[in-house]
Chains A and B, each alone.
Chain A
Amino acid sequence: NAGVMQNPRHLVRRRGQEARLRCSPMKGHSHVYWYRQLPEEGLKFMVYLQKENIIDESGMPKERFSAEFPKEGPSILRIQQVVRGDSAAYFCASSPTSGGLNEQFFGPGTRLTVL
């Protein structure tokens, strides 16, 4: 009964490159959420997706960031032309529903370092 899976666990990019972060939700979960955590700060919501739909992207920066959750395969968070300020831990969470308690379970995270 695998939990939320994320890869890679660590990613190093040079300024201007693209970063692709992948997330597979827990079995039976169809709701995926991405959060960013800067060093010594709390978690900031970025985007909420269901299969083939972006439901809430109110926390996504307007430029360079995009997310998808295709019918088949993992959810992808893509950061184009990375800058040093993008260095952070990116966590994916999943839940079985969006209503009710909406308990979200987190993956191990991807730690992005931009050189």
Chain B
Amino acid sequence: QKEVEQNSGPLSVPEGAIASLNCTYSDRVSQSFFWYRQYSGKSPELIMSIYSNGDKEDGRFTAQLNKASQYVSLLIRDSQPSDSATYLCAVKPSSSASKIIFGSGTRLSIRP
């Protein structure tokens, strides 16, 4: 079982709709969780971080964490074509003082 799992996609969502990206992790006592956006040929950009159960909202983005289910998700409201990118879920496991483990990413495509 991979430490951090994501559906590779592509996930196609119409412009203006809500895009929902999901991620599961294997280490039950992981501490911190991150969503990065990566455009093709570019570097990852941190868009959300969360460490408490529940929802965290920032503009059009909402991160949701459920530690009991070992599940973290990212919702993007009012999707725009500029949101088309690969979204990487990352987890800081309890066993690590520092490193974070990345999922392989979900490709999101917003169709006009």
Contacts and interface: CB of A to CB of B under 8 A. Distances in A.
Interface in A90-106: 91, 98-106
Contact of A103 (B34, B43, B101, B105): B34
B98 A103 contact: no
B96 A56 contact: yes
Contact of B51 (A44, A101, A106): A101
Interface residues of A, number: 26
Interface of B is mostly: loop
Contacts of A35: 102
Contacts of B92: 101-102
Interface of A: 31, 33, 35, 41-45, 48, 55-56, 58-59, 91, 98-109
Interface of B: 32, 34, 36, 42-46, 49, 51, 88, 92, 96-105
